[in-house]
A and B are shown apart, each in its own frame.
Chain A
Amino acid sequence: MDFRFTPEQEAFREEFISWLEENLPDDWDPSRYRNYDSSEELARAHKDLQRRLFEAGYAGLHYPKEYDGQGRTLMEEVIVLQTITSTCAELRMPGVITFGMAAPVILICGSEEQKREFLPKTLDGTHIWCQGFSEPNAGSDVANVSTRAVKKNGHYIVNGQKTWTSFAHIADYCILLVRTDPDAKKHKGLSYLLMDMKLPGIEVRPITQITGEQEFNELYMEDVRVPAAMLLGKEGDGWRIAITTLMFERVIGDVTMAAVYQRNIERMIQMASQSKRSGKAVIEDPIFRQQLAQAYIEVMVLKYHGLRNLSQQLQGDIPGPEGSIGKLLWSEPNQRITEAALGMQGPGSQIMGGSPWSVQDGFWQFSFLRSKGSTIEAGTSEIQRNIIGERVLGLPKDISRAVRIQ
């Protein structure tokens, strides 16, 4: 067992840290947690950084060279991701679906042509992807997707509505789950398309979320003609590929989120050192100290569990249902951590960013609100516990689902 990077990996890490410092956008302010007001600006900055990463040989480290990756290991990729997320998490954000789901699923399930067409353009920052799974009547019950795709003259004609589609407004492509066979059993009739977001008939309507931002959208499709060559896998494979996609998302999540939260713990310590409550420095308050330590402990749990999982994956395992642990470990603790941080601010916790009385520019107010989405997105906590209970521990399925799946 060894928890250290090898000397080569350590050297690579240091080399990358200095590269990144040199290559951040000119107007990047590291003291701010949000540097861009509009998602369009953010998308541009994200693509620009991705292009530079690509040119410098830091993109897609574990992707094969024939698709313009670097042919190295997942470990180097993780080193790069950890560094980016602890330095400039914001710039990484528009790429979470692109690199967390779309690229790995195309690599695993795509045809040779699809891999050649999409992977280079994904790695070099040309394409941002969004994920069109959820619909008004297909949330946790993803298999209930009703968006229809009918094959006609070499095209799939797509009609329907997706919702909560993050980054659809800035995305170039969409991994889209559609129903191709309405007569087949629920899970069997689904297919997986790679859809160009510029096709006629696509309409994106932003949804304002709890933070006041517009990060996700409604996505309407009316007679959108997706070329048949954009089918990923075979017709009817959609469910299997969708599940694979979600598992990838879970694995990448753990290690990068740990880096983000570790940075947040530093923020928390800084805040507590500077704030006073009832005339006493917050950092000296024993209750706060317990909360701070607990926050740190939970971040370490996420970090080392993520690394242990990664170790297993470096042996070539495809992520399994155990990945649900990581999802719970990054989503639930962050709610407790942000609640604790607001608790320390007392009445001041009501002030958002932008006021002379704001604490750390409203970072914790934003994070507290954003953290509420984490136990919903990418499979709710309840769904994760169902997965663990049923697929890892072998407990019987819910009656309703057991009947339906038969």
Chain B
Amino acid sequence: MDIRLNEDQIEIARQARRFCENESPMEYVRAMFEDERGFTDDVWRKMVDMGWTALRIPEAYGGLDMDLMDLAVILEEMGRAMVPGPFFSNVLLAAEAVMEAGTEPQKERYLSRIATGETIGTLALHESDGGADPGYVQMGARPVGNGFVLNGTKLFVPDAHVADFLVCAARTESGEDPAEGITLFLVDPKAEGVSVSLLPTMDGTRKLCAVEFKDADVSADGVLGEPNKGWKPLSRVLRRAQVGLCAECIGGAQRAMEIATEYAKVRVQFDQPIGTFQAVKHRCAQIYVEVESARSILYWAAWAQDHGDIEEAALAASVAKAYCSEVYRNATASAIQVLGGTGFSWEHDIHLYLKRAQANEVALGDPAYHREQVAQLIAG
């Protein structure tokens, strides 16, 4: 047992911190918050040059074949700096889906180009009720000739407006078990019958879209992996992505804690720094307790995806997602209270963190959903 980052991971974190400080300062984050596209080619290119898009891709497709834990270290820094853009949707959703479900030719076609940054993908999973269970995948795909025709609406699709391809989960069969009969499709968002529109979401640093399908044709080789068997590989993708979100949450919560603590040391009221008052001090202490303990859970969850059996991986992902996302939300809310009126202003950065925390909390299953998963796993 050794629950510490290794030297390589510490170095990766250090480089990521420097990268984020230099390439994604808050001015950039704010500009991208307002920007429709949400990132610049320049920063994207530099991120690719860091090897981040290739990190998890197997060596056979030009990647570095590293662990989720290694990526988690970077995601923590990205969450701390709130780096905008389609990194998460591309690397943790689309690439992982192709890795898990794709046929050899599909992997060859997509993975190497994701690694080099030439192509960007995302995952179209949720529908209007936003549920994370397979039963909530209701959008239908009808077999026609050799291919399929898609009809329906996907919501909360991250970065679809800038994606070159979508992995879209649709129902091709319905029976007793909702996990059966889901097929993953590779869809070109610019194809006929597919329309993408940005949703006016609270968090402007991660764009979410509605993707509407009206008689959109997908050919037979647009089926990612096997028809009707999409949920199983997808569930592995989702677990890792949930853990990835946890890493982001911890980075953001850590920053919120630092913001609150730094302010509590310098803001003077009643002739004393407000950090002297226990009502303030204990808030900061509580954020620290939650952030540090959430980091311990993140490490477990990331390790379990890399090395644990499927049950531990599932349990750890849900434990982590429920806990870390609530920790992030609490940290930002608490920090705003410590900042007083300043924290309520658009000018101060804390609201960006609050908004990302809110988005991360409900993404890929909200805490109530994950607690129910935990209950099922421990008590049936």
Which residues of A line the B interface, CB within 8 A? 1-6, 9, 75, 265, 269, 272-273, 283, 286, 289-290, 292-294, 296-297, 300-302, 304-305, 307-308, 310-312, 314, 322, 324-325, 328-329, 382, 384-386, 388-390, 392-399
Selected contact of B322 from candidates A289, A297, A322, CB within 8 Å: A297
Query: In the complex, what residues of B have CB within 8 A of residue A286's CB?
Result: 372
Asked whether A394 and B265 contact (CB < 8 A) given A3-B300, A265-B378, A305-B293, the answer is yes
Given contacts A382-B278, A393-B288, contact A9 B1 (CB under 8 A): yes
Asked if A289 and B379 sit within 8 Å, CB to CB, the answer is: yes
Q: Are B319 and A292 interface neighbours, CB within 8 A? A: no
Residue from A308, A312, A324 whose CB has the most chain B CB atoms within 10 Å = A308
**Complex CA–CA separation, A274 to B296 (angstroms):** 34
CB distance from B198 to the nearest CB of A (A): 34
A302 CA to B280 CA in the complex, in Å?
Answer: 25
State in angstroms the CA–CA spacing of A361 and B278 once bound together: 41
Q: Which of B31-39, B112-120, B269-277 lies on the face that meets chain A?
A: B269-277
Q: Please pick, from B292, B304, B378, the residue contacting A3 in the complex, using a CB distance under 8 A.
A: B304
The answer to whether the Cβ of B146 comes within 8 Å of any Cβ in the partner chain is no
Max chain B Cβ within 10 angstroms of own Cβ: one of A272, A301, A325, A398: A301
Contacts of B373 in A (CB 8 A): 293
Q: Given A289-B379, A395-B281, A396-B275, A2 and B303 touching (CB < 8 A)?
A: yes
List the one stretch of B3-11, B228-236, B239-247 in contact with chain A: B3-11
In the complex, which residue of chain B has the Cβ closest to the Cβ of A402? B276
A296 touches B296 (CB 8 A): no
Given A1-B6, A297-B374, A390-B281, A395 and B276 touching (CB < 8 A)?
yes
Q: Which of B317-338 touch A at CB < 8 Å?
A: 319, 322-323
Interface string of B302-323 (1 = CB under 8 A from A): 0110011000000000010011
Residue of B nearest to A9 (CB): B1
Contact among B265, B286, B372, B374 with A385 in the assembled complex (CB-CB below 8 Å): B286
Mask: chain B, 6-29; 1 = CB below 8 Å from A; 0 = not:
100100000000000000000000
Say whether A5 contacts B1, CB under 8 Å: yes
Q: Are B276 and A396 in contact (CB under 8 A)?
A: yes
Tell me, in angstroms, the Cα distance from A392 to B292 when the chains sit together.
Answer: 12
Report the minimal beta-carbon distance from B5 to chain A, rounded to whole angstroms.
7
Residues of A within 8 A of B286 (CB): 385
Residue B141 lies at the interface, judged by CB distance under 8 Å to chain A: no
Q: Give bound CA distance, A336 to B366, whole Å.
A: 21
Q: How far is the CB of A47 from chain B (nearest CB, A)?
A: 31
Residues of A within 8 A of B216 (CB): none
Q: Which residues of B contact A (CB under 8 A)?
A: 1-6, 9, 69, 261, 264-265, 272-273, 275-276, 278, 280-282, 284-286, 288-289, 292-297, 299-300, 303-304, 307-308, 319, 322-323, 368, 370-375, 378-380
How distant is the Cα of A389 from the Cα of B284 in the complex, in angstroms? Answer: 7
Q: Are A294 and B371 in contact (CB under 8 A)?
A: yes
Q: Are B371 and A297 in contact (CB under 8 A)?
A: yes
CA A301 – CA B297 in complex, angstroms?
6
B265 near A392: Cβ-Cβ < 8 Å: no
Asked if residues A301 and B2 are in contact (CB atoms below 8 Å), the reply is: no
Q: Known A-B contacts: A302-B293, A308-B299. Give 16 more (CB < 8 A).
A: A289-B375, A290-B375, A292-B378, A293-B371, A293-B372, A301-B294, A301-B323, A304-B299, A308-B4, A308-B295, A325-B288, A325-B293, A386-B281, A393-B285, A399-B272, A399-B276
Nearest chain B residue, comparing its CB with the CB of A272: B379
Q: How many A-B contacts at CB < 8 Å in the complex?
A: 156
Contact: A1 with B265, CB < 8 Å?
no
| Interface pairs (17), CB distance under 8 Å | A1-B9, A3-B303, A9-B1, A272-B379, A290-B368, A293-B374, A294-B371, A300-B300, A308-B295, A311-B3, A325-B289, A385-B282, A394-B261, A395-B261, A395-B264, A396-B273, A399-B272
A207 CB to nearest B CB, Å: 29
Contacts of B4 in A (CB 8 A): 1, 308, 311-312
The secondary-structure label for the interface of chain A is helix
Task: For A75, list chain B residues within 8 Å (CB).
Answer: 1
Instruction: Select from chain A the residue with minimum beta-carbon distance to B277.
Output: A398
Known: A305-B293, A307-B3, A396-B275. Contact between A300 and B285, CB under 8 A? Answer: no
Complexed CA–CA distance, A388 and B275 (Å): 12
Q: Which residues of B contact A322 (CB under 8 A)?
A: 292
Chain A residues contacting B322 (CB-CB under 8 Å) are 293-294, 297
Q: What's the least CB distance linking B75 to chain A, in Å?
A: 16
Residues in A neighbouring B368, C-beta threshold 8 A = 290
Residues of A within 8 A of B1 (CB): 2-6, 9, 75, 307, 310-311
| Bound complex: CA A272 to CA B380 (Å) | 12
Partner of A290, one of B278, B299, B371: B371
Do A289 and B372 have beta carbons less than 8 Å apart?
yes
Pick the residue among B9, B284, B289, B323 that contacts A297 (CB under 8 A).
Answer: B323
Tell me whether B319 and A308 are in contact (CB under 8 A).
Answer: no
Q: How far is A93 from B360 in the complex, measured between Cα atoms in Å?
A: 42
A324 to B288, CA, bound (A): 11
Question: Which residues on A sit within 8 Å (CB–CB) of B289?
Answer: 324-325, 328-329, 388
In whole angstroms, how far apart are the Cα atoms of A397 and B282 in the complex?
12
Question: Which one of A386, A388, A392 has the greatest number of beta carbons of chain B within 10 Å?
Answer: A388
B294 to chain A, nearest CB (A): 8
- Name the CB-closest residue of B to A322: B292
B170 to A: closest C-beta gap in Å: 29
Q: When A and B form their complex, which 9 residue pairs have the shortest distance between CB atoms, in order from nearest?
A: A293-B371, A395-B275, A389-B281, A388-B285, A293-B374, A305-B296, A385-B285, A289-B375, A311-B3
Q: Quick one: which of A297, A386, A388 contacts B288, CB cutoff 8 A?
A: A388
Tell me, in angstroms, the Cα distance from A290 to B369 when the chains sit together.
Answer: 9
Per the bound structure, the CA–CA distance linking A195 and B4 in Å amounts to 40
| Contact indicator A269/B300 (Cβ below 8 Å) | no
A276 nearest CB across to chain B (Å): 16
- Chain B residues within 8 Å of A388, by CB: 285, 288-289
- A1 with B303: in contact, given A265-B378, A386-B281 (CB under 8 Å)? yes
What residues of B have a CB within 8 angstroms of the CB of A300 in the complex?
A: 297, 300, 319
Q: How far is the CA of A321 from the CA of B261 in the complex (A)?
A: 17
Least distance between B68 CB and chain A CB atoms (Å): 11
B2 / chain A contacts, CB cutoff of 8 Å? 1-2, 311, 314
- How many Å lie between the Cα of A206 and that of B4 in the bound state? 45
Which residues of the other chain, A, contact B295 by a CB distance below 8 angstroms?
A: 308
Which residues on B sit within 8 Å (CB–CB) of A329? 289, 293
Tell me the complex Cα distance, A293–B300, Å. Answer: 17
B281, closest chain A residue (CB) = A389
What is the bound-complex CA distance between A1 and B295, given in angstroms?
13
Question: How far does the Cβ of A352 sit from chain B's closest Cβ, in whole Å?
Answer: 26
| Residues of B with C-beta under 8 A to A385 | 278, 281-282, 285-286
Question: Do A308 and B3 touch (CB < 8 A)?
Answer: yes
Q: How far is the CA of A159 from the CA of B317 in the complex (A)?
A: 57
Most chain A C-beta atoms within 10 Å of own C-beta, residue among B282, B285, B297? B285
